[in-house]
Amino acid sequence: MNRKQKGFTLVEILVVITIITLLVSLLVVLIGGLIDRARYAKTAATVKLLDGACKTYKLDFGEYPPDSKKSSASLHHHLGIERKIITQKSDLGANLVSTKPPIIDWQRDMLDDSKGIPDPKTNPVRVMDGFGQAIRYQIPGKYNRNGPDIWSPGKNEKDEYIETASDYDDVTNWAKEY
């Protein structure tokens, strides 16, 4: 009886399963790295946006946004509401005021919505980074000599400030890495 059987042997099936498992493992590692890089890029873009917006605020009002909320919620409030700017004094002695739109048109994914619907006037909330951590804001700046300190603690959630720690991953406006 010499009949040929159709199908795969157990060894062939195990080899194919092993190869597929190895390829999937490699793909998971690569995707994980890409996701972290995307989160860092989003965080750096947010820090850069806030830094530029604070400079615009200073041009309009002569000072950086105050840290009245003791968090980045101050930035959500001051940079997200209409600005009333004194443009000049009239001949009658009264100030002429112009109204400008908010400096930042906030996107929902930039804000902490755990405390209700974010609104710069009635419910200012913290500005979030790409890792879901609150952006830090300090005025006057301790590390940024030309303005406020704006930073994210990064993936490890530690405020390290300077690049000496082995797991340093903060995104700051004073290191100019963005």
Query: Is 1 part of a structural domain of the chain?
Result: no
Question: Does residue 177 form part of some domain?
Answer: no
Whether 4 is covered by a domain: the verdict is no
How many structural domains comprise the chain? 1
* pTM reported for the whole predicted model: 0.75
User: Does the residue 3 lie in any domain?
Assistant: no
Q: Which long-range contacts (CB under 8 A, 24 or more apart) does 50-55 make?
A: 50/75, 50/79, 50/104, 50/127, 50/135, 50/137, 50/150, 50/173, 51/147, 51/150, 51/173, 53/79, 53/103, 53/104, 54/79, 54/147, 54/148, 54/150, 55/147
Per-residue pLDDT tens digits of the chain, which is 178 residues long: 556 778 888 999 999 999 999 999 998 888 878 888 899 899 999 999 999 999 999 988 889 999 887 788 889 988 988 988 877 766 676 777 888 899 998 888 889 887 778 888 888 898 999 988 999 998 888 888 888 999 888 888 777 766 666 667 788 888 765 5
User: Which residues form the domain of 84?
Assistant: 10-172
| CA 55 to chain centroid | 18
pLDDT for 147: 87
Residue 123 lies in a domain: yes
Asked if residue 5 belongs to a domain, the reply is no
> Looking at beta carbons, which pairs linking 163-166 to residues 24 or more positions away fall under 8 Å?
none
pLDDT value of residue 23: 94
What was the pLDDT predicted at 128? 92
Q: Which of 104, 127, 108 is nearest to 55 (CA)?
A: 104
pLDDT at 172: 86
